[in-house]
Structure 1
Amino acid sequence: MDALDIKILNLLQDDALMTVVEIADKIGSSKSVCWRRIQRLQDDGVIKKRVALLEHNKVGLDIILFAHVKMTAHGRKLPKFIEVIKDIPQIVECYTLMGNVDFLLKIVVEDIQQYEELWWNHLSPIEGVQEINSTIAMTEVKHTTRLPL
């Protein structure tokens, strides 16, 4: 990647609906060069996809939680856990961790009752789950999808 690619990526991080013509104008390049670079960045997997970012409160998802999941053991049970949580739409992010817990889940739900149902019926019954500690986010101070290029 060079400086022109980074300029393109920064513009697309701000507005993925920006047209190739608008991007070319802003970076001082031709439309065809800009289009080819965007295509290459997509083909190379640098641009994974273009999406609409929604305001969670405006779609009725008022609660953001972080769940720390500790497993009883590692090995064959981890793929089962990963497979199950991938199918739970309220879990919007999942990370494996080093340290005292094995997974960090970011969960968005309508209310605490929805999380309680998710906890009892979907998370805690997964084979190998030893402990789940949940933290509710009170205020979203910073949320960005922008990477510092």
Structure 2
Amino acid sequence: MIVLDNYDKAILKALQEDSSISNLDLSKLIGLSPSACLARTRNLKELGVIKQFTTVVDEKKLGIETLAFILVNLSPLNRETANFFVAQINRLPQVLECYTVTGNHDYLLKIVAKDMKTYRDFVIDSLMAIPGVNRVETSIVMSTEKRTISIPVEQE
């Protein structure tokens, strides 16, 4: 675990709110000189605390209407099948997130599709076509009440 001081935490909080903020504006916001702020930001990136700077896209504006969570079971569940499954999932742009989970299922996928027909085609033609996929169970998102990619960074 990396120990962060209040300046590092303030940088992370601000960048999670708006990663396009200029270094000058960021330095003013947190109360550091621009050079000290830039050095700390670079250090957080080098340490891997900041993984990437990104843009969050509103999928609805692009005509993507379906968001679903899919629970997947593999058979047989062994390292070879699991590694092959993950490699295939990483090639599918509709899959936004993939988690190995505990319980009655092996994986949890978060996927997007243009509409229900596109979603159905994805499940049949892409997901179920992966060797080892034995069973899928879907929950379609009806509405999103909260969504964030920000990790809470508490300041003392």
TM range (shorter): over 0.9
**Match for residue 31 of structure 1?**
34
The aligned residue for residue 60 of structure 2 is: 57
AA matched with 2:5: D
Residue 145, structure 1, aligned to residue 121, structure 2: no
- What per-residue deviation string (whole Å, max 9, x for no partner) do you get for residues 84-137 of structure 1? 010100000000001100000000010011111111111112111110011100
- Alignment partner of 1:69: what SS? strand
Find the aligned partners of 1:26 and 1:148 in 2 and give their Cα distance.
Answer: 18
Aligned position for 2:14: 11
Q: Which residue of 1 aligns with 2:91?
A: 87
1:2 aligns with 2:5: yes
Structure 1 stretches of 4+ with a deviation exceeding 4 A read none
Deviation at residue 71 of structure 1 after TM alignment: 1.0
What is aligned with 2:51? Answer: 48
Extract unaligned runs of 5+ from structure 2: none
Task: Indicate the residue corresponding to 2:109 in structure 1.
Answer: 105
1:121 counterpart SS class: helix
Q: Which residue of 1 aligns with 2:82?
A: 78
TM-score, with structure 2 as normaliser? 0.93
Give the corresponding residue for 1:121: 125
Q: Paired residues, what number?
A: 149
Q: Please report how far the alpha carbon of residue 73 of structure 1 lies from its aligned counterpart in structure 2 after TM superposition.
A: 2.2
2:137 to 133, 141, 146: 133
Q: What residue identity is the alignment partner of 1:140?
A: T
Structure-1-length-normalised TM-score = 0.98
Gaps of 5+ in 1: none
